Every structure is written in structure tokens, then in C-alpha cells.
């Protein structure tokens, strides 16, 4: 083989960065399309969208009978629930408070747990790895698709709550937790910021689910293990005797998004939450990479 032929062959074996980027964007688009079109995913999003509807109808029926939620949120419910009848925008905050501890992370756990293990069980993983970008880029694409699902799932809850709140209750100025009032436009912007923070709060758990997904070739087993881990950690976070450990558990600061409704905004716990999620994403993302790059996918 001449030097010219060898150079051409080398170029074919080593695709340009532009070609690798285009391939990555293409597989990300394909991954998102496949994930969001699955009946399982649509069912999860449907359940998430139904939660604000049920909350809104329940509050509407209760207020229609001449009663209203108490100042504590009505029997220990979310504190935002007491404000829903006065301003439908608060249904967004109440719905996120209800779905964040369980429903949202369970949906993310199902998608993340199935991301790699589902491909392995279906026998399609080895064909994906034939592409020139390699395992690292494929794993990053899988994680990016899970992160997009985190945002989509959160926005489904928020937009459903906003629509139901606008239909069943009045909209207007927002009374913050601090007791001050802000305009509806600013309240809507804060609702959008809260939705983004809630989605970002799930990034650490998404990395855990991705790591679990690289440990097994069974999608069902990975999903069950991820959801089981979520339940276990949630229980641990509620045990007072583990107070020294609780600040390091990934769901501990999830509800800190409520501080974004203060005037001025309290950023301390929000920053702690995002920092903690970043640590979990880095640790378990690295573990997933170490496992996936050495995983035998021919077996």
C-alpha cells in the first residue's frame, strides 16, 4: 500500500470532528425520538400531566362546598395549596411539590435505568457501537437524552398545572413566601425558573440510573433497581437518627426550590442542591463511563 493510500485509509478510520459531531447530534435526535415515542414514556408523561388536574379539581370541589385549605396547606399538604384558590399560578408550585418526591424521579428512574440495559437486552447495543464515535460519546448521548427527559417531564407537570390553574382559578399578582407581592409576569418567570431548578435537581439521580443501567443487561432489572434505590434513599432521608448523613443524600435539598418564591430570593440551599447534584452526576457518571467502556457487549 502506498503512503497516499495509507493516508486515505487513516482518514477513513479517523473521522473528522465535524463528522463525529454530526453523528452525535443525529444519534441524540434518534434517541430522543425513540424515547419520547415509546408507549411507556407517553404513559409516564400522561400520569405526570394528570396529577395537577386531580389536584386542581380536588381544590375546586372543596372550595365549591364553601371550605378552603387551611393556612398550613390543608391537612399537612403542600404549603402552596392554600394559595391555589386565590391564584391559579400556585397550582404549578403545588403540583411540583407533590410530584418531585416520588412521581418525577420514578419516571426519570425508568428512563435512565432502561437507557443502556434496554439496548443490551434488545440486542441493539452492539450495532450502536459500530458507529465511529465510540462508547464514550454514545454514553454521553444517552445521558443527554435522559437530561432532556428530566426537563420535558418537569415542563409537562408545570404546563399542565398552569393550564388547569388558569381554567379553574383566577390569575393575578403573586404573594411570595416572604409576604410581599410581585406581578403576574414576574411570578410566571419565577415559575419557569423553578421548573428548570426542579429538572436540574434530577440530574444526580439520572446519573445513578445510568450507572445502574450499565451493570446489567436487563432493562427491567435496571429500572427496578433504580426505583428501589430511590425509595430506600427517600426513607433514609426521613430518619432523624441519620441527620449527619442526610445532607449528603441526593434528594435532601430537592424542595429548596421554594426559596425562589421569597423576596429576596434565598439562594443558599438552592446552590447546595445544585452542587450536590453536580457531585453525584460527576461520581456516578464517571462510574458509568468506567463500566461501559470495559463492558463486554458481545456476550
Tell me the C-alpha distance between 143 and 140, whole Å.
5
Q: How far apart are CA 141 and CA 144, in angstroms?
A: 5
In DSSP terms, which residues pair with 182 in a beta bridge? 174
Distance CA 100, CA 202 (A): 9
Nearby residues of 165 by Cβ (< 8 Å), 6 or more positions away: 52, 56, 84, 87, 88, 89, 90, 91, 92, 171
Q: Which DSSP state fits 249? A: S
What's the pLDDT score for residue 72? 43
Least Cα distance to 139 among 121, 147, 243, 59 occurs for 147
The answer to whether the beta carbons of residues 251 and 278 sit under 8 Å apart is no
Q: How far apart are CA 160 and CA 104, in angstroms?
A: 14
Query: Which stretches of the chain score pLDDT less than 70?
Result: 1-24, 26, 64-79, 119-133, 295-299
With H, G, I as helix, E, B as strand and everything else as coil, classify residue 182: strand
Between CA 88 and CA 95 the distance in angstroms is 11
* pLDDT at residue number 235: 92
pLDDT score for 76: 37
- Model pTM above 0.85: no
> Residue 225 has which C-alpha cell?
433497581
DSSP state of 217: S
With b for 16 or more beta-carbon neighbours within 10 A and e for fewer, the 50-70 pattern comes to ebbbebbeebbeeeeeeeebe
**pLDDT value, residue 7:** 40
Identify whether the C-beta of residue 68 lies closer than 8 Å to the C-beta of residue 182. no
Neighbours of 42 (CB within 10 A): 11
The number of CA neighbours under 13 Å toward the Cβ of 93 is 33
Question: Which helix H or strand E contains 181, and what residues bound it?
Answer: strand 181-182
Amino acid at each position: 500500500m502506498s503512503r497516499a493510500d495509507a493516508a486515505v485509509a487513516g482518514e477513513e478510520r479517523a473521522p473528522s470532528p465535524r463528522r463525529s459531531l454530526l453523528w452525535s447530534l443525529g444519534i441524540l435526535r434518534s434517541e430522543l425520538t425513540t424515547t419520547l415515542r415509546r408507549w411507556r414514556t407517553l404513559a409516564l408523561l400522561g400520569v405526570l400531566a394528570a396529577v395537577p388536574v386531580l389536584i386542581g379539581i380536588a381544590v375546586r370541589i372543596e372550595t365549591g362546598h364553601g371550605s378552603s385549605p387551611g393556612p398550613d396547606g390543608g391537612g399537612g399538604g403542600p404549603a402552596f395549596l392554600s394559595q391555589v384558590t386565590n391564584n391559579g399560578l400556585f397550582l404549578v408550585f403545588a403540583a411540583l411539590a407533590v410530584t418531585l418526591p416520588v412521581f418525577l424521579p420514578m419516571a426519570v428512574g425508568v428512563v435512565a435505568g432502561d437507557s443502556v440495559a434496554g439496548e443490551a437486552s434488545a440486542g441493539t447495543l452492539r450495532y450502536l457501537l459500530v458507529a465511529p464515535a465510540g462508547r464514550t460519546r454514545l454514553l454521553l448521548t444517552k445521558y443527554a437524552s435522559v437530561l432532556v427527559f428530566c426537563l420535558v417531564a418537569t415542563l409537562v407537570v408545570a404546563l399542565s398545572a398552569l393550564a388547569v390553574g388558569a381554567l379553574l382559578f383566577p390569575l393575578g399578582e403573586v404573594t411570595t413566601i416572604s409576604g410581599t407581592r410581585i406581578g403576574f409576569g414576574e411570578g410566571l418567570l419565577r415559575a419557569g425558573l423553578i421548573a428548570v431548578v426542579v429538572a436540574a435537581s434530577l440530574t444526580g439521580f439520572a446519573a445513578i440510573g445510568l450507572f445502574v443501567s450499565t451493570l446489567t443487561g436487563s432493562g427491567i432489572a435496571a429500572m427496578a433497581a433504580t426505583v428501589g434505590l430511590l425509595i430506600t434513599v427517600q426513607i433514609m432521608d426521613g430518619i432523624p437518627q441519620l441527620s449527619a448523613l442526610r445532607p449528603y443524600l441526593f434528594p435532601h435539598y430537592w424542595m429548596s426550590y421554594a426559596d425562589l418564591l421569597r423576596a429576596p430570593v434565598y439562594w443558599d440551599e438552592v446552590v447546595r442542591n445544585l452542587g450536590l447534584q453536580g457531585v453525584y452526576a460527576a461520581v456516578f457518571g464517571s462510574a458509568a463511563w468506567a463500566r461501559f467502556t470495559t463492558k463486554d457487549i458481545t456476550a
